[in-house]
Homo-oligomer: A and B are copies of this chain.
Amino acid sequence: MRVVCFGLGPIGCEIARVAASRPGVEIVGAVDMDPTKVGRSLRDVVGAASEVVVSASFDEVAAAGSVDALLHSTMSSLPDVWDQVAGPVGKGVSVISTCEELSYPWHIRGGTARDMDAAARASGARLLGTGVNPGFVMDILPLVLTSPCQEVTRVHVERVVDAAGRRGPLQRKVGAGLSPDAFDAMVSAGTVRHVGLMESAWMIVDGLGWQVDEWEESIEPVLAEQEMRTDVLTIGPGQVAGVRQTIRALHQERERLQMDLSMYVGAADPHDRVCVSGSPDIDVLVRGGMHGDRATAGMVLNALPPLLLRPPGLATMLDLLPVRCADGRGA
């Protein structure tokens, strides 16, 4: 498989390193807009086992020959991403992206999703948004875990991440080091939200064939009880250590789904947990939790072969892992 690495931020670099080390995958190009990276080799820029030189645009790469897929990691906003990849998709190049909004865009970015799907079908390309979250641990893993169930009445998904072990941009994204007031302002501006949690919730709801009458969302700061230092910032007592974000989906006033995501510096017991209420009940604990950045890069490479076997168009992880308990009872 001939791939182009598009976007060389922290996750994109990780993807490039995995792609370079994987037999059967050949990196034939790399794209990033950062002028300090353009013109240098992937080995030099990201430490990947590849001498491919970073280009400023896909058009320069494409001149070098056929490309099977873009491994894309730049932004969370689907319209922005579509601006970046519409050209390659029009030429029949498939795209796997870590763009959170692409993971399940049908409800939240329906217009862009339909445009992308139509363009991909017309050119013979496949499109997929994936990663560890959204894309696996809070959506597909719970769905796959329902596959031995006779019926499912409720799903609870919980993820606790110690942001201290994650990249600097993520620490800042969760509000670590802010005052509570500054955090509230970020919440109002919509910039502290983990993009993808609602996409994960929709994947579960649609995957199980449920109806939802009411959604409830909350975003709260987790405050530091004592001073904490990470490699990029210091958090004083009473300052924000990170964020807790929850989503609830109700049908006929009964809770069917609860998603509970906490990402903060100093989380004592990082883990992922999935509790399925049904027949039988299923209670699964991922000890220590799944490492976000490394797991996202792994997922991108592992989803590539089954994606390329699918019919053209915009796919989601629901299509790639289709066994689950859609028990037909609606909600």
Contacts and interface: CB of A to CB of B under 8 A. Distances in A.
Nearest to A305: B326
Contact of A136 (B25, B148, B301, B320): B148
Given A285-B284, A303-B323, A298 B150 contact: yes
Interface string A256-288: 000000000000000000000001111111111
Given A282-B290, A287-B283, A288-B283, A23 B323 contact: no
A65 interface: no
B297 A150 contact: yes
Given A280-B294, A282-B290, A322-B306, A301 B18 contact: no
A18 B148 CA distance: 12
A18 to B, nearest CB: 5
A288 B286 CA distance: 14
Nearest to A325: B302
A286 B299 CA distance: 22
Interface string A298-320: 11011101100100000001001
Contacts of A322: 306, 309, 320-321
A2 to B, nearest CB: 15
A295 interface: yes
Contacts of A147: 136, 298-299, 302-303
Nearest to A299: B148
A42 to B, nearest CB: 16
Q: How large is the interface on A (under 10, 10 to 19, 20 to 34, 35 or more residues)?
A: 35 or more
B323 A148 contact: no
Contact of A148 (B24, B146, B280, B295): B295
Given A303-B147, A323-B302, A329-B23, A284 B283 contact: no
A169 interface: no
Contacts of A150: 18, 21, 294, 297-298, 301
A282 B286 CA distance: 7
B302 A22 contact: no
A132 interface: yes
A321 B298 CA distance: 17
A38 interface: no
A291 B302 contact: no
Contacts of A288: 281, 283
Contact of A287 (B285, B298, B325, B327): B285
Contacts of A132: 148
A249 B146 CA distance: 29
A141 interface: yes
A49 interface: no
22 contacts: A18-B150, A23-B328, A136-B147, A147-B298, A147-B302, A148-B296, A148-B302, A149-B298, A150-B297, A150-B301, A279-B294, A280-B295, A280-B298, A282-B286, A282-B290, A284-B284, A284-B287, A285-B287, A302-B323, A302-B326, A303-B323, A320-B323
Smallest CB-CB A-B distances: 5 pairs: A148-B295, A23-B328, A280-B291, A150-B298, A283-B287
